[in-house]
Chain A
Amino acid sequence: MDRRSFVRLMAAVPFAPSLKGAPGDPVKPDALPKLNVVTKYAAARVPGMPGPYPGRVIAVKSEKSVDVETSAANDEVVREMMARGMCALTGKKTALEAWKEFVVPADVVGIKVNCGGHPWCVSAYEIVAEIVRQLGAAGVPPTQVYVYERFQNQLDEVNYAPHLPEGVTIVAAETANRRADNRGYDPATYVEADLFGEEDTRSNMMKLVSQKLTKVINVPNMKDHGATGATGCLKNIAYGSFSNVARTHYRGKSHTYSFVGTLASVEPLRSRTVLQIMDGLRGVWHGGPFARTRKYVFYPKQILFGTDPVAIDRLLLDIIDDERKRHGAISIYDRSPQYLKVDDGRARDADPNVNIIIREPGHVEFAAGLGLGVADKARIKVQDILV
């Protein structure tokens, strides 16, 4: 394989979402809601986010990783990308050594996948399977591995089981997104907030995370998102590990600006999430987080590695926005009313120049302010690797 790697520093372009979508003053919503974090868990000495590599991102790219005609991934290439990325992130010579930086045999490891983009953009089978394989090599048996999402029906659609060894548990907190089963959530670990006068003001952490897992590996996709601008590491781990989060966006307004990062910062989620592997083999540049058609699917053909979810997501904002620009679509930073059709999902799906909510890509910067990572592009160090 043709390989080369180099290190680049992100250009010192200021983080500059603006009211009109052009570079300008940072946007901070006028009034941030009061968010009350309730948890009995203390932070680890070195919390998993941002972990040992703040501001550091390994971007492994390969033209051969995905067949854009069939959308199928190349398993062998993905494995190679995974090994190269993990070694580069940790400075270790072998993938095994690299993985041992993050787990020990006694760990109970959760793999937070993203199934919301079924059928065209979900956490790739090849990546998830390789993670499980490497965990096994590092001494964590399949019986101590949990592939998880919030909704079982989404996991069932994606169906990871045929790709994973026997013993891995594939589990969700709820059967479906209908708010009828809450026993998978920890009643004592939550964020309380009255955002729009909703009656249920609590978002509870999954019991799996708070009571069983000792480590979490986050495997988000590269996707546009109608409320946050883009959904990557932060939103996948936050909204994918807590209940009752859809309440944060209502009639065109989104409180995701502060809510996403706040959820991600709640212990023990923050401390236990030790590794971010962003699946950018496929992506969604509009209509996300869903991908019911291929209309808005694109192929970044890359995997990003790091321990800093903020740094990776900061890159993601540009990736999504650049792809939108390529298609002549409005920026994820656009807040102008002329493109806003509140709650009109059909119009949004038909036209990439329709927002149904004012997006809050500033949630990434807000999360940086919580200490979850580095959002300043001048301080993000990216190592590109071509496979």
Chain B
Amino acid sequence: MTALLWLAALPCLYWTQGAETAPALKKAAIERVCVPTDQADAWRKAGLTPVPLSDTDLGLRETVAAPGIRPRPDRASATRSPWVFTNGSRFLRDPAGKFLYDLPAGKGALAAAEAYAYGADAVLKIDPADLESVGQMLAFLSSLPKSDLPDVADVGVVDDGSATMGEALNLLVRRNLLFKIVPAPSAQYRVSVKLGTPEFPADAAKDPSAFALKVRRQLTDEQRSLRIFGTEIVIGRLTGDGSRVRLHLLNYGGRDTEGVRVRLRGTYPEGEANVAGAGKVALEDRGVVDGGTEFTVPRLGPYGVVDLPAAK
């Protein structure tokens, strides 16, 4: 992938303030910016790479939720873990889709990371107060070693396109149950899900949480390609091709999480993390146990990736 194409793969900041604000964007290390069509020339002259976006273009994009969490202090202890707002399932469901984030302050960096982690074509409308943090995140994303690996999935899901299935897929993402949308059930996956079958009756997804738990029980925790311990607000996306894997880690909690413990099915004797805000970070407490590789990412801000070559 060329550098230009790679840059284009990053989410694009949509900026409606005039080209006279270019110094602020440059200070935030932002090189490429989505702008109203009639401002493109001015931005080019100001030294940035403009991507013209008309109101029509914007209107055709699917607006997605601001990523993050909503605490549930009213719930009993075991469910004190907050509700996580993630767009992962929407991106996986529609890999060719075009998306728009319209974000309140404080969400820009995580949204940029989320779009990148899922390879989504996304435009970010941010609060200007987030310019610096979004710039830092985009710079971090562009610094990452290039990777174009396919999804690792334990579950093949036949998507019926319904809203019910959409929420069920959302719960699979939130539970770190790795799935791939497939046209028909396949033995390639440890669990196949198709609604309307004896194993998954038509109404099986009406309670998305119960649905996700049923899938998990069928798969079993031992067979899962990815487990995350020590937190319930970090969501992973695992990609790999047999020779190596890349694990994207998105922390939706809004504050750093220390000691994110990861278990990957398989043996990966080496590897390192790249963490937004920290750069390259050594993995701690590494070990191979019962057919899985475990390690700890010592500190995770909104986003990090872990690259691991497979054992030879």
Which residues from chain A sit less than 8 Å from chain B, CB to CB? 179-185, 187-188, 194-202, 204, 243-244, 246-252, 342-343, 356-357
Contact = CB atoms under 8 A, between A and B. Distances in A.
Contact of B176 (A184, A194, A199): A199
16 contacts: A180-B253, A180-B257, A182-B229, A182-B258, A182-B259, A182-B261, A183-B298, A184-B259, A185-B259, A187-B294, A198-B78, A199-B175, A200-B231, A244-B230, A250-B78, A343-B75
Binding site secondary structure of chain A: loop
B4 interface: no
A199 B179 CA distance: 16
Contacts of B176: 199
Interface string B204-236: 000000000100100001000000111110000
A214 B169 CA distance: 48
B176 to A, nearest CB: 7
Contact of A182 (B76, B78, B175, B231): B231
B81 interface: yes
Contact of A187 (B80, B221, B261): B261
Contacts of B285: 187-188
Nearest to A183: B259
Given A180-B256, A181-B257, A250-B79, 12 more contacts: A179-B81, A179-B231, A182-B230, A183-B298, A187-B294, A188-B285, A202-B230, A202-B261, A246-B80, A250-B76, A251-B78, A343-B75
B68 to A, nearest CB: 15
A198 B230 CA distance: 12
A202 B230 CA distance: 8
Contacts of B75: 343
Nearest to A342: B76
B257 A197 contact: no
Contacts of A196: 78
Contacts of B78: 195-196, 198, 246-251
B77 interface: yes
B76 A251 contact: yes
Contacts of B229: 182, 187, 200-202
A249 B257 contact: no
A343 to B, nearest CB: 5
Contacts of A183: 258-259, 296, 298
A343 B261 CA distance: 30
B74 A198 contact: no
A198 B229 CA distance: 11
Contacts of B80: 246
B77 A246 contact: yes
Nearest to A195: B78
A251 B77 CA distance: 9
Interface string B229-267: 111100000000000000000000101111111000000
Given A182-B231, A182-B261, A187-B294, A343 B287 contact: no
A243 B257 CA distance: 14
A204 B294 CA distance: 14
A201 B221 contact: yes
Nearest to B74: A343
Nearest to B287: A188
A22 B298 CA distance: 51
A247 B80 CA distance: 9
